[in-house]
């Protein structure tokens, strides 16, 4: 096999290019994708669903990829569609030195060796494309997805469920919302091997008992659909009440929690002491605040306030052997992501996942247990009074927590309004 040709093809082709290999002239004549090329060449078709589009030809002998194709060439006349990047990659990777292999791997592939990658989206197609371990959702993401035509059947099913449950309109809407969130979660779980995070209404962020009740209701809906609670993380706002709701759900009900809207070190300490499963400190929103409220308007990854915050939290957790794990969230650029390589988990938007998949720079673990153990951090204990004071002293965290709750609540209200309109149409027979 001509390795250098295969490497050149691999580097030249975009991610989704499809290769059409015509092994004989007779097959080529029968194919609706007619090629003027000799059978010893490759025809590259950018979209095999649209045969009328102009093909891209590459004058490369088929012998250059013969070895890679040998597993599928089993007849005299063969027309086959394959993802050429996926086909050539294993051959190339086993034929080059470890150093060169690292350079050829995408930043996303390298990141997955050090960190559990989570997709921050409600879009099933994005999840299918980037193959994350877990996925997270929130009211804003569900609102965006619920507006897409592809997911209207889930909205319709949820509305029928809410109406069938009966009760006052407000109760029907609440039941519909919970059913819709779980419906998206169920579809996501079909596409990932790990867990999905489903969020409790942000408007309950200061009501511990109501958060516990709604969380148990969400878990019941998952279990009715045959999903065990171990595959679900309940997202709660990291208020004092939310953290205590997380403690109760973990201790009394065995429900795993993901504490979101986390901006301060005080929030992180309280979550660790509550022994919740996971926290989601927000990286990008912290940087946003500093850019808006200080003279500095740009940051290198190593000086990014959000990166520094998550690094401190990770080091504190690992140094003192807390069981709670850290999942960095809310990224603004891939530099922030790569600066936190080695973190337990990172939840990343489809846009940044796409950038990382095309980036071939070297990714090395920046966070490690060894570094954490060696760092100079004192163990901290916070009761409610000390928590509230320490959190209050962090202006950025106070403002971003309240702002985050308001924004999630606003999107929940928008989603409710959409549901009410659709529900009224159903009741009126429209």
Helix axes 305-319, 283-293, angle to 10 degrees: 140
Encoding tokens for residue 422? 């659709």
Please, which residues bridge with residue 52 across strands?
Answer: none
How are strands ordered across the β-sheet holding 79-83? 56-58, 42-45, 18-22, 79-83
Q: What is the rounded CA–CA span in Å between residue 105 and residue 281?
A: 28
Q: Is 95 exposed, middle or buried (0-12, 13-18, 19+ CB in 10 A)?
A: middle
- Please give the Cα distance from 235 to 72 (Å, whole number): 46
Taking CA atoms, 123 is separated from 29, 143, 150, 185, 357, in Å, by: 40, 11, 10, 11, 18
Residues 6+ apart with CB under 8 A from 383: none
How crowded is the C-beta side of 121, counted as CA atoms within 13 Å? 22
Tell me the catalytic residues: 235
Q: Find out whether 11 and 34 touch, Cβ atoms under 8 Å.
A: no
d(Cα 124, Cα 109) in Å, to the nearest integer? Answer: 20
Q: How far apart are CA 170 and CA 420, in angstroms?
A: 9
Tokens of 172: 């029907």
Residues β-bridged to residue 45: 18
Residue 202 has φ and ψ, to the nearest 5°, of: -65, -20
């Amino acid at each position: 096999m001509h390795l250098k040709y295969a490497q050149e093809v691999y580097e030249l082709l975009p991610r989704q290019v499809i290769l059409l290999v015509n092994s004989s002239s007779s097959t080529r004549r029968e194919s609706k994708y007619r090629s003027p090329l000799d059978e010893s060449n490759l025809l590259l078709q950018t979209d095999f669903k649209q045969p009328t589009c102009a093909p891209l030809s590459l004058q490369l002998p088929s012998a250059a990829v013969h070895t890679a194709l040998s597993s599928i060439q089993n007849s005299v006349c063969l027309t086959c569609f394959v993802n050429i990047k996926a086909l050539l990659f294993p051959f190339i990777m086993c034929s080059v030195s470890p150093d060169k292999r690292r350079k050829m791997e995408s930043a996303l592939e390298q990141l997955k060796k050090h960190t559990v990658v989570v997709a921050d989206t409600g879009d099933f197609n994005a999840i299918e494309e980037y193959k994350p371990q877990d996925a997270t959702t929130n009211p804003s993401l569900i609102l965006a997805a619920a507006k897409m035509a592809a997911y209207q059947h889930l909205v319709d099913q949820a509305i029928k469920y809410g109406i069938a449950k009966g009760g006052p309109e407000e109760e029907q809407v609440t039941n519909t919302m919970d059913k819709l969130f779980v419906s998206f979660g169920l579809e996501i779980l079909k596409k990932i091997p790990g867990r999905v995070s489903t969020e409790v209404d942000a408007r309950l962020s200061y009501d511990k008992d109501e958060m516990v009740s709604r969380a148990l209701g969400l878990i019941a809906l998952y279990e009715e659909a045959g999903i065990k609670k171990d595959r679900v993380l309940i997202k709660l706002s990291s208020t004092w009440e939310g953290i205590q709701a997380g403690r109760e759900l973990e201790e009394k009900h065995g429900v795993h929690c993901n504490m979101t809207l986390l901006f301060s070190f005080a929030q992180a300490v309280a979550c660790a002491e509550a022994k919740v499963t996971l926290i989601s400190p927000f990286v990008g929103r912290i940087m946003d605040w500093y850019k808006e409220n200080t003279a500095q308007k740009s940051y290198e990854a190593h000086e990014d306030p959000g990166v520094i915050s998550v690094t401190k939290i990770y080091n504190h957790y690992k140094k003192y052997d807390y069981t709670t794990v850290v999942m960095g969230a809310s990224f603004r650029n891939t530099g922030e992501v790569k600066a936190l390589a080695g973190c337990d988990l990172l939840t990343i938007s489809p846009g940044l996942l796409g950038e990382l998949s095309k980036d071939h720079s070297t990714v090395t673990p920046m966070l490690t247990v060894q570094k954490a153990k060696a760092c100079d951090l004192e163990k901290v204990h916070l009761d409610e009074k000390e928590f509230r004071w320490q959190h209050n002293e962090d202006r950025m965290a106070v403002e971003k927590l309240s702002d985050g709750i308001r924004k999630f609540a606003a999107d929940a209200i928008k989603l409710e309004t959409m549901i009410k309109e659709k529900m009224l149409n159903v009741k009126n027979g429209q």
